Structure 1
Amino acid sequence: MSETQQTTTKPVLDIHERPAFSKWIVLSIQHLFTMFGSTIFVPSVTGLSPGVALVSSGLGTLAYLVITRGKIPAYLGSSFAFIAPLTQFMLKDQSPGSVMVGTFSVGVVYAIVSLIVYYAGVDWIQKVLPPVVVGPVIMVIGLSLAPSAANMAMGTSNGVENYSWEALAVALITLAAAIIAMIFFKGFLGLIPILFGFAVGYVASMCFGLVDYTLIKEASFFQVPDFTIPFVDADPVVTVTVILSMAPLAFVTMAEHMGHQLVLNKITNRNFFKDPGLHRSLLADGTASIIASFLGGPPVTTYGENIGVLAITRVYSVFVIGGAAVCAILFGFIGYINAIITSVPQPVLGGISLLLFGVIASSGLRMMIDNKIDLNINRNLIITSVVLVIGIGGLFVQIGSVQVSGMAMAALVGIILNLLIPERKHA
């Protein structure tokens, strides 16, 4: 995501301008492909349904536009912050009921904070979640997932000693394709390096004989995604452990949400914190995750990739964003697309992960640099160090059946240290 310096440049299409139908479709498809790779990546590595993730993304975005009164051109996609707990629930515990409750709890936290913001303003959030806390936690999100990326790239993702040179070759080809697209491609292709990496990696997997075509052969054009409806397909698993594994991470994505708002303010030359208000955008973000919980999808959040498209094209129209959301919903019901996504081999996901998880960690570091966090100050050094080691090391607290671990634990400890350690000027 890159900030534009042309904050006063006249937009090609402003927020409430509607493009001609032919251009509308093309512009919306561009946003769809921009978010596509990252949105389907989360369910692909966590065991959730890519089709459900697409539908959740589209419905969540439409809800966001409605709640913010059509004033903020933002697209919502699957959040990377929740990959670790989602993986635990789906791949280890085989518990879609936990995913429902965890995702729902994220939305509830957003709703509570939006209510507080409405009455108390936004200054308190900066005190609870300053860059010295949020930056390291974002780094933890990426770095704690690094072993998973490496295992998928080597073909050992299931903990079995089945190291494969073919798998590693496919992973490196996938990684190289995504890097080349990011650095050298211009225009539309330059906006979809992750999707390009997926495509090249998939072709390479076909050449190495790593693709299982069974699901593709059995797929139909129209296919209802594998929705997991509460009390119909699975019973919600309401435990303190489930809630504490995901709910605290909402504060991390909230900080990301506010960062995206700041960039959108600059790009569109508006102040969305005031109109329609941060409380509305937070409520809209949380509502989108609650919608996802009723379908069995992952939590969603605003996407920096799509903000980058706004900055480059100067097309700020919410009609274009809404069109992309409708397209995402339609794509979720196309069986062939779901089957192809599901058949993507682990090494392809591993190759993309080597880049994406590193980018996540780097974005946390960039946040600290941009905000001039001085690690010569002991307070900053302590908070950063403890958060990183707790998060990456996997320290957890177990009280009976309740467990707080990983990124959630790191976020909570970071917030507590920030509130307890007094600020002193550096001598």
Structure 2
Amino acid sequence: MTDTHEPVTGAGDLRRRGFLRGAAIGVGAVGAVAGGAAALTGTAASAATPAPTRSTRSAFHGAHQAGITDPVQQSTAFVSFDVTAADKRELTELLHAVTDRARFLATGGTPAALGITDSPSDSGTLGPRVPGDGLTVTVGVGASLFDHRFGLADRKPARLTAMPAFDDDDLDPAWCHGDLSLQLSAPHADTVLHALRDIARHTRGGMQVRWRMDGFTSPPRPSGTPRNHLGFKDGTANPDVADPATVNRLLWVGGGTNGEPAWTTGGSYQVVRTIRMLVEFWDRVSITEQERMFGRSRDTGAPLDGTKEFDTPRFAQDPAGDVIPLDSHIRMANPRTAQTDNSRILRRGYNYDRGMDSDGNLDMGLIFVCYQQDIERQFAAVQKRLAGEPLVDYITPFGGGYFFALPGVRDRSDWFGRALLA
């Protein structure tokens, strides 16, 4: 296999499987624009304010994937897939197809015009021209992709496993794991759903949806970080992604070090958790008790020993937990010690609303997504510290998985997973 994306020939079998033909339509599009529950309140020390809604193109090419360090957008869909490709060749073609569609959808352009007797090359839900609209497409691989099917067992990222059940989880197997993860994010829900339909159409026969959750973020009210369904600001603290030393220590994997395969360079470990929030139960709890469980003021987001959202809690000056309880969420998630500094994560949370459950209760919650260099050192360490916290009576983690977010697509000759499958 070469590093360039060469046209596939002899694809009769793929026409039968149904996804390569669709990918070719995207490559030939006319006028295409060239371009480019863990901690519920965060575990890091520096703050990031969400960007306002944007409708510009997001850079698709780069050493790292879009959607990891970009500001959280208003709409998202997280989808886990089982790969149904028959062998390594078809897996390669599948990832070519995903790359071609993601590149076109993220950069925008006019879909190809087909014959009047053929089905349209695009659903048309965004109009005659795909706008780009800031769409990001983030692709990850699960541990199950490295089984016997594709001969990749010796290339598995060193720290990639199936997500275990933690002490306070109630995991549903139907909502867990997967061979591939795909997160689509944009300022508008129709852009996300259009992209999901497009990629599903062009990859039919190569992968099948295992589980899916749609999410959203709300405008900051009144300012600062958006709130979750429990009414508290969600994700107040995050590592400074503009600081190279910080991201190289906490976020990006460097292939060839720490036992990682060389191909992993530029990737990051992705943790996804779907967490139901028992909002009707929560709404009957006093505000004082709610704030002591979080360790923050609900109105301002400030730690209980501070006045502003981004104030750093002074745990050392409150050793007995008189102001911020010792079992509060922010104190257990990130004790802010030298020993726990290296366990910080980059979190990207989204609310979800699935209506009602079979008993007539509101079904709302959080899609928790985080990125890190080492799941065990970072996310799992935080999760273990949170075992038994008071909040567990009001939340139920029921799904998700561990994935490895692939290195970025560097240019038009590159594609998702090229180094993995080379």
TM bin (shorter chain): under 0.3
Which structure is higher in strand share?
A: 2
TM-score calculated relative to the size of structure 1:
0.23
TM-score calculated relative to the size of structure 2:
0.23
Which structure is higher in helix share?
A: 1
Select the structure with the greater relative contact order (CA < 8 A; seq sep ≥ 6): 1
Q: Which has the larger radius of gyration?
A: 2
